[in-house]
Amino acid sequence: MRVFNRVCLWLFLGAAPMAASASVSTPACPKADAAHQVYASGVYADGVVAFEPSSDADYPVDVVLYRATNGACSKSRIDRYSFEGAPPKVEAAFPYPLRGQPRLFVIVSWAVNHRGEGTYGTLYQVYAYGQDGKGGLVPDKTIANSDAMTGVEGQADGEPTHFSGKTPAEVRKLVDAMKN
């Protein structure tokens, strides 16, 4: 009984630090379901990526990779999206190759309303994730740092603006143009 109590206490006290670790094992992986913001990773056949609410108000969305391994499901946070005057909204997630390697592309948006500065509409940012060599995913810096992968649809500094990466088809065209 004493061992059981210690195990229960360890589970109760140890669960919080474990949840913050890089990888946690759960019994079954979620299935791809776009209605619930769970998508096939496109990088690993046994992986799905979920966009889950976070308890951190500054980063309200966690990007989580689930992979089935040895009869269990591993869960690891690969990224998180910040609050930028408005909460982030995942518009789309889809696989597409970059430099011959599979990538998961994600289109994220934020509502923008700075009328005093003449800026309003929707801010878009495109992210991409590839293999990290250890069974996980890492952000692709080429995409993250590309000026072509971020923009405002609406008005910026008093001028009308258009962003050409709001849909998967538009992002594919941008990526193809980067390859040349």
18 belongs to a structural domain = no
Q: Is residue 83 part of a domain?
A: yes
Does residue 168 carry a pLDDT above 90?
A: yes
CA gap 109, 94 in Å, rounded: 15
Report residue 162: phi and psi, to 5°: -135, 135
**For the segment 37-85, what is each residue's pLDDT rounded down to a tens digit?**
999 999 998 999 999 999 999 999 999 999 988 888 999 999 999 999 9
pLDDT in tens, 94-109: 999 998 899 999 999 9
Edge-to-edge strand list for the sheet holding 72-81: 24-26, 72-81, 61-69, 47-53, 38-40
Determine, yes or no, domain membership for 132: yes
- The radius of gyration of the chain's CA atoms, rounded to the nearest angstrom, is 19
Q: How confident is the model at residue 23 (pLDDT cuts 50, 70, 90)?
A: low
Q: Is residue 142 part of a domain?
A: yes
Residue 15 has pLDDT above 80, yes or no: no
CA gap 125, 150 in Å, rounded: 4
Q: How many domains does the chain have?
A: 1
Q: Which residues does residue 138 pair with via DSSP β-bridges, in sequence order?
A: 130
DSSP state of 48: E
- 115, part of any domain: yes
> For residue 8, what are its two tokens?
């229960």
Q: Which of 129, 68, 53, 134 is nearest to 93 (CA)?
A: 129
In a domain, 113, yes or no: yes
What residues have CB less than 8 Å from 13, skipping those under 6 apart? none
Domain span at residue 103 reads 23-179
Distances (CA, A) of 42 to 57, 65, 75: 29, 11, 16
**Average pLDDT, whole number, for the chain?**
85
What does the chain come to in residues?
180
In a domain, 7, yes or no: no
The pLDDT, as a whole number, for residue 4 is 30
C-alpha span between 52 and 36 (Å, rounded)? 9
Q: Which is it for strands 89-98 and 101-114: parallel, antiparallel or unpaired?
A: antiparallel
The overall pTM is greater than 0.95:
no
Please indicate, yes or no, if residue 17 is contained in any of the structural domains: no
CA 77 remoteness from chain centre: 9
The pLDDT of residue 24 is 64
